[in-house]
């Protein structure tokens, strides 16, 4: 017990130290890198929600972008209709997405494998049509999500992108700290038991369906937070901001991170942010056409996904841990 408390305290201070380093770095790089840093933080939260759902409870989602959209719309509606403070918008996004996740999880508890994946995929495909049916959601144009200027106390040189970075980084750090502790608790052990041996878990007295619904609810809440962060960075919420490709990108990021561990989530997030820039650089060097330029990021993501599955199927972090154990 003493060692466990010491480990928790050391991790807590580790998160604080990492946060301080992020703030220092954020104040020393240009605006583009700061904006990319905010996007990385958003992806960290989104990918971690998939790792919780798939890697720990064994439920596959190919339409997680739809849950991000629920959070984004929820945050925008609170801001526009009630002028809610930013923190309340994010809290509302988490709660609304968690509610959707609970409803979806009640259905998902009866499904598995390709049936569950197909259900979540259908939700992501149908999202644009659903959003366009309701005027209060803004139709194809969507809604504006303006969190306002940063506090004057931060100085005139403190830009809006830095404000995005601060908010997104703080949200990601708090989410990861909370999720890491949750997965180390009894709930995490129950979810792992369900993933590996659901029948044995049920015989041991675990309510499998209820545990799966809880996992889907928590995962959806995290996805809703990520959706609010994404909407903040682009200042709008619309069906076009949450395309089907976003769901596939998040699933790819989870595989690259290592779907059974949170340790590599930053790797997957940075990869998803870096690939469009790498693709653009390659396209300019080879003088590619506009069609090739537009499709190259997807091609690179697909190729990286295949290489990851072939050579590091559990993610680079788990692969390194395995090698260390073998050497020991």
Q: What is the pLDDT of residue 185?
A: 92
- Quote the domain boundaries for residue 52: 31-244+257-263
CB-based contact 95:154 (threshold 8 Å) = no
Is residue 134, in this structure, part of any structural domain at all? yes
Look-up of token digits 């939700």: 123
How many domains does one find in the chain? 1
Is residue 306, in this structure, part of any structural domain at all? no
Q: Where are the alpha helices (DSSP H) in 184-264?
A: 186-196, 198-203, 208-234, 244-257
Across the strands, what pairs with 237? Answer: 143
Q: What is the pLDDT of residue 304?
A: 82
- Indicate the burial class of 99 (C-beta count within 10 angstroms; 0-12, 13-18, 19 or more): middle
Is residue 92, in this structure, part of any structural domain at all? yes
Is residue 282, in this structure, part of any structural domain at all? no
Which segments in the chain show pLDDT lower than 50?
none
Q: What is the pLDDT of residue 135?
A: 86
Q: What is the 3-state secondary structure (H, E, C) of 117-167?
A: HHHHHHHHHHHHHHHHCCHHHCCCCCEECCCCCCCHHHCCCCCHHHHHHHH
Residue 239: helix, strand or coil by DSSP?
helix
Per-residue b or e along 162-175, where b marks 16 or more CB atoms closer than 10 Å to that residue's CB = bbbbbbbbebbbeb
Q: What is the pLDDT of residue 260?
A: 85
CA 328 to CA 320: how far, in whole Å? 12
Kindly report the number of other CB atoms within 10 A of residue 178's CB atom: 12
DSSP state of 262: S
Q: What is the pLDDT of residue 97?
A: 96
Residue 133: helix, strand or coil by DSSP?
coil
Which residues are CB-neighbours of 20 under 8 A, at least 6 positions away? none
Task: Name the token pair of 211.
Answer: 């545990």
Is residue 147, in this structure, part of any structural domain at all? yes
Across the strands, what pairs with 236? Answer: 144
Q: What is the pLDDT of residue 302?
A: 80
Is residue 236, in this structure, part of any structural domain at all? yes
Backbone dihedral region of 83: left (phi > 0), alpha (psi from -120 to 50 degrees) or beta? left
Is residue 279, in this structure, part of any structural domain at all? no
Is residue 21, in this structure, part of any structural domain at all? no
């Amino acid at each position: 017990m003493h060692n466990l408390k010491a480990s928790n305290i050391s991790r807590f201070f580790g998160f604080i130290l990492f946060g301080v380093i992020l703030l220092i770095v954020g104040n020393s790089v240009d605006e583009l890198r700061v904006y990319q840093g905010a996007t990385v933080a958003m992806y960290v939260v989104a990918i971690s929600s998939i790792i919780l759902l798939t890697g720990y409870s064994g439920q596959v989602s190919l339409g997680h972008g739809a849950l991000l959209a629920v959070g984004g719309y929820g945050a925008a509606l609170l801001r526009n209709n009630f002028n809610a403070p930013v923190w309340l918008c994010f809290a509302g996004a988490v709660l609304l997405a968690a509610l959707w996740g609970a409803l979806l999880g009640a259905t998902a508890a009866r499904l598995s494998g390709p049936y569950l994946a197909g259900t979540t995929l259908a939700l992501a495909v149908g999202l644009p049509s659903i959003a366009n049916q309701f005027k209060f959601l803004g139709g194809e144009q969507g809604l504006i999500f303006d969190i306002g200027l940063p506090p004057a106390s931060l100085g005139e040189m403190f830009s809006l992108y830095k404000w995005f970075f601060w908010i997104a980084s703080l949200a990601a750090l708090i989410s990861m700290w909370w999720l890491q502790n949750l997965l180390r608790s009894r709930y995490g052990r129950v979810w792992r038991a369900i993933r590996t041996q659901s029948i044995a878990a049920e015989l041991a007295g675990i309510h499998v369906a209820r545990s799966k619904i809880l996992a889907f609810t928590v995962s959806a809440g995290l996805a809703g937070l990520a959706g609010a962060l994404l909407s903040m960075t682009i200042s709008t919420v619309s069906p076009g901001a949450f395309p089907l490709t976003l769901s596939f990108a998040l699933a790819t990021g989870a595989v690259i991170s290592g779907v059974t561990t949170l340790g590599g989530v930053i790797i997957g997030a940075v990869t998803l942010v870096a690939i469009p820039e790498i693709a653009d650089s390659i396209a300019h060097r080879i003088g590619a056409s506009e069609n090739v330029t537009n499709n190259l990021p997807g091609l690179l993501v697909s190729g990286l996904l295949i290489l990851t599955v072939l050579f590091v199927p559990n993610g680079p972090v788990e692969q390194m841990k395995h090698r260390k154990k073998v050497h020991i």
